């Protein structure tokens, strides 16, 4: 009975270790860590560029922090939440904030964010992909 229990424990341990190989979730990604400012949005092959500064408006940004914490700003509001990355550049973002008095630029960002599922990171440029290859394109701030 003791050998059977030991064998069963070893099989379960082996299954656990081998099943984590391709789907291991990473709570945060050091390359992503830092603040990113939204520069443009690509929707259905149209590129929408960041509008010029306006009084009382914030830069649209995301701040990826350690341990999967996420902070950000839309055009007029603050966002808090989490992020989680996995292999093959998949990403999940969650959280929220108010949507009061958003500009059209802020609304594009806020509405796209929950649908982001893949990212591409090269040097100081981050692209978050959502819905049929639409893109949120960021540049690194810090």
Residue 130 lies in a domain: yes
Among candidates 128, 114, 122, 123, which has minimal Cα distance to 42? 128
- Tokens 């960021």 — which residue? 138
Residue 17 lies in a domain: no
Q: Where are the alpha helices (DSSP H) in 21-127?
A: 104-112
Domain hosting residue 38, numbered range: 24-140
Number of domains in the chain: 1
What's the pTM value of the predicted model, to 2 decimals? 0.77
Residue 18 lies in a domain: no
pLDDT at 66: 87
Give pLDDT tens digits for 48-104.
999 988 888 899 999 999 889 999 999 999 999 999 999 889 999 988 777 788 999
Q: Where are the alpha helices (DSSP H) in 20-115?
A: 104-112
Residue 134 lies in a domain: yes
Residue 11 lies in a domain: no
Say whether 122 sits in a helix, a strand or coil. strand
* Percentage of residues in the chain having pLDDT higher than 90: 58
The answer to whether residue 120 scores a pLDDT higher than 70 is yes
Among candidates 61, 84, 46, which has minimal Cα distance to 138? 61
Among candidates 142, 141, 140, 137, which has minimal Cα distance to 49? 137
| CATH number of the CATH domain containing 37 | 2.40.128.270
Q: Which of 6-10, 88-92, 132-136 has the lowest mean pLDDT?
A: 6-10
Evaluate whether 27 touches 129 at the Cβ level (below 8 Å). Answer: no
Mean pLDDT of 100-117: 92
């Amino acid at each position: 009975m003791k050998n059977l229990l030991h064998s069963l424990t070893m099989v379960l341990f082996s299954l656990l270790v081998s099943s984590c190989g391709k789907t291991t979730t990473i709570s945060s990604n050091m390359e992503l860590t830092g603040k990113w400012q939204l520069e443009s949005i690509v929707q259905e092959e149209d590129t929408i560029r960041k509008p010029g500064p306006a009084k009382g408006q914030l830069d649209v940004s995301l701040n990826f922090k350690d341990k999967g914490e996420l902070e950000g700003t839309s055009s007029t509001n603050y966002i808090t939440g989490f992020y989680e990355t996995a292999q093959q550049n998949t990403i999940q973002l969650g959280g929220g904030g108010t949507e009061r008095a958003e500009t059209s630029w802020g609304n594009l960002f806020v509405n796209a964010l929950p649908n982001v599922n893949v990212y591409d990171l090269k040097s100081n440029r981050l692209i978050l992909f959502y819905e049929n290859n639409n893109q949120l394109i960021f540049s690194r701030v810090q």
